[in-house]
């Protein structure tokens, strides 16, 4: 039987829509679904998310809602800009020389922004070269521990090598599907003790991945490699 694209789509969608999850606890958060559309999101994350969508009708629907609302939001903000331009109600009544001065200021400001952007670019490039020079283009901070099987009853401490010129770090833990399950607040030292409430929520005998994002003063992010750990179940 030959099927055209539309029939294939209908059949596949109906296949996915039958995959009702028993619970949503293992699903990516709504924010993770939204983040997947960001150009900064890693390919691994994007792939892992799509794999999940094909097994979970609820997430597939939410993904579609987010995708279409992004398009709508784009159109809405474009129309807003076209109609109002700047803040409505503020520019009314301006005439004579004021627009000219405003325009002159705008050009001056634009020139200054361009100059600072150029300087900023050079600074960032130097900083990137420094970060990349220590461990390759994508390895911001070499990870030390935990790696492999770890004692689930002891506090879990993450440790990594410090990187020169870094302002703060963020630790991210992902599940087996590489979907983030926890993200730390900003950490200013190269180690982090996992909050007990988070550690309790991690499942024993399940594989988790962790990585460190290092941010420099300009906000440039470099990602570490990913390491895996498994919390050892308590002995009977």
Cβ closer to other proteins: 63 or 210?
63
Judging by beta carbons within 10 Å of its beta carbon (0-12, 13-18, 19+), is residue 45 exposed, middle or buried? buried
In Å, what is the CA distance from 114 to each residue of 12, 94, 109, 118, 171? 49, 28, 9, 6, 34
**Minimum distance, C-beta of residue 226 to other proteins, in the bound complex (Å):** 18
Contact range with other proteins by CB under 8 A, out of 49-57, 104-112, 114-122, 198-206:
49-57
Contact range with other proteins by CB under 8 A, out of 18-26, 148-156, 169-177, 197-205:
18-26
Cβ closer to other proteins: 12 or 101?
12
- Whole-angstrom distance, CA of residue 184 vs CA of residue 214: 12
- Whole-angstrom distance, CA of residue 95 vs CA of residue 107: 19
**From 37, 101, 105, 121, residue interacting with other proteins (rule: CB under 8 A):** 37
Tokens 């470099």 belong to residue = 222
**Minimum distance, C-beta of residue 201 to other proteins, in the bound complex (Å):** 16
Contact track, other proteins, 74-113, x by CB under 8 A: xxxxxxxx-xx--xxx------------------------
Residue 58 as a binder of other proteins (CB under 8 A): the answer is yes
Residue 147 as a binder of other proteins (CB under 8 A): the answer is no
Q: Check whether the bond before 146 is cis (ω within 30° of 0).
A: yes
Q: Around Cβ 219, how many Cβ atoms within 10 Å? A: 8
Which is it for strands 180-183 and 207-216: parallel, antiparallel or unpaired?
unpaired
Residue 36 as a binder of other proteins (CB under 8 A): the answer is yes
Contact range with other proteins by CB under 8 A, out of 73-81, 114-122, 168-176, 222-230:
73-81
**Minimum distance, C-beta of residue 202 to other proteins, in the bound complex (Å):** 20
Radius of gyration of the chain from its Cα atoms, rounded to whole angstroms: 24
Interacting residues of 190 by C-beta distance below 8 A, sequence separation 6+:
141, 159, 160, 161, 162, 169
Asked if 160 and 144 touch (Cβ cutoff 8 Å), the reply is yes
**From 26, 44, 45, 69, residue interacting with other proteins (rule: CB under 8 A):** 69
Contact range with other proteins by CB under 8 A, out of 48-56, 123-131, 200-208, 225-233:
48-56
- Whole-angstrom distance, CA of residue 203 vs CA of residue 194: 14
Q: Applying CB under 8 A, what is the total number of residues that bind other proteins? A: 60
Could you list the residues that contact other proteins (CB under 8 A)? Answer: 1-3, 5, 8-9, 11-16, 18, 20-24, 27, 30-31, 33-34, 36-37, 39, 43, 46-47, 50-51, 53-54, 58, 60-70, 72-81, 83-84, 87-89
């Amino acid at each position: 039987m030959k099927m055209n694209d539309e029939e294939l789509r209908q059949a596949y969608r109906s296949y996915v829509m039958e995959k009702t999850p028993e619970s949503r606890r293992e699903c990516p958060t709504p924010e993770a679904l939204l983040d997947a559309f960001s150009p900064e999101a890693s390919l691994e994350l994007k792939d892992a998310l799509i794999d999940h969508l094909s097994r979970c009708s609820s997430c597939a629907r939410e993904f579609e809602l987010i995708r279409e609302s992004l398009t709508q939001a784009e159109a809405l903000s474009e129309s807003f800009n076209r109609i109002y331009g700047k803040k409505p109600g503020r520019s009314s009544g301006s005439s004579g020389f004021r627009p000219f001065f405003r325009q002159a200021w705008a050009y001056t400001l634009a020139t200054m922004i361009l100059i600072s952007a150029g300087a900023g670019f050079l600074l960032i490039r130097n900083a990137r070269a420094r970060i990349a020079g220590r461990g390759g283009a994508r390895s911001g901070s070499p990870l030390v521990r935990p790696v492999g099987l770890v004692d689930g009853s002891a506090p879990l401490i993450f440790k990594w090598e410090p990187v020169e010129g870094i302002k703060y770090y963020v630790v991210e833990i992902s599940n087996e599907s590489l979907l983030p399950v926890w993200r730390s607040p900003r950490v200013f030292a190269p180690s982090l003790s996992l909050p007990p409430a988070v550690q309790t929520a991690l499942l024993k005998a399940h594989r988790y991945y962790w990585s460190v994002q290092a941010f420099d003063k300009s906000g440039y992010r470099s990602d570490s490699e990913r390491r895996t750990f498994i919390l050892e179940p308590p002995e009977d």
